[in-house]
């Protein structure tokens, strides 16, 4: 296949483009909404009958935090503060709490690098 020339205009046409702002936003949104799903389990207890309960599936949260981490670190280099936050993870034994610490470290990294913006609350006196 012949390479496109500048005269053909194909040299300037992107073949595939990802909007990383949208991808990071969706990854954060997915992490936050991890706990909207519920797992229900029913356990038979001899002599008592059935008992059932629901819980939030922590494995979905952990998986979504990993995807967020991979996405953010593909576009943002970690700094020394991020490395310090990540070193605290080894002190936790619970996988869910480890994922929470990773999530917190990622949000702090994004905030320090200026990727998170906060709108001030709306003041009705300004209307």
pLDDT-based confidence at 112, cuts 50/70/90? very high
Question: In angstroms, what CA-CA distances link 79 with 65, 67, 120?
Answer: 19, 19, 28
Write down the pTM of the prediction: 0.73
Question: In angstroms, what CA-CA distances link 121 with 14, 20, 111?
Answer: 39, 27, 19
Under the phi-then-psi rule, with left for phi > 0, alpha for psi from -120 to 50, and beta for the rest, what region is 73? alpha
* pLDDT score at 17: 73
pLDDT above 70: residue 9: no
CA angle 122, 31, 88 (to 5 degrees): 105
Tally the residues of the chain: 127
pLDDT above 70: residue 119: yes
* pLDDT score at 35: 85
* pLDDT score at 108: 95
CA 118 – CA 61 distance, rounded (Å) = 24
């Amino acid at each position: 296949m012949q390479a496109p020339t500048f005269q053909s205009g194909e040299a300037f046409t992107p073949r595939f483009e990802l909007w990383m702002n949208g991808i990071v936003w969706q990854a954060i949104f997915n992490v936050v909404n991890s706990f909207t799903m519920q797992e229900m389990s029913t356990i038979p207890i001899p002599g008592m009958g059935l008992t059932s309960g629901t819980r939030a599936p922590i494995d979905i949260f952990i998986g979504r935090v990993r995807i967020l981490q991979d996405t953010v670190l593909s576009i943002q280099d970690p700094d020394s503060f991020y490395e310090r936050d990540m070193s605290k993870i080894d002190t936790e034994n619970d996988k869910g709490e480890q994922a929470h610490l990773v999530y917190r470290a990622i949000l702090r990294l994004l905030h320090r690098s200026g990727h998170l913006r906060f709108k001030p609350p709306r003041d009705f006196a300004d209307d």
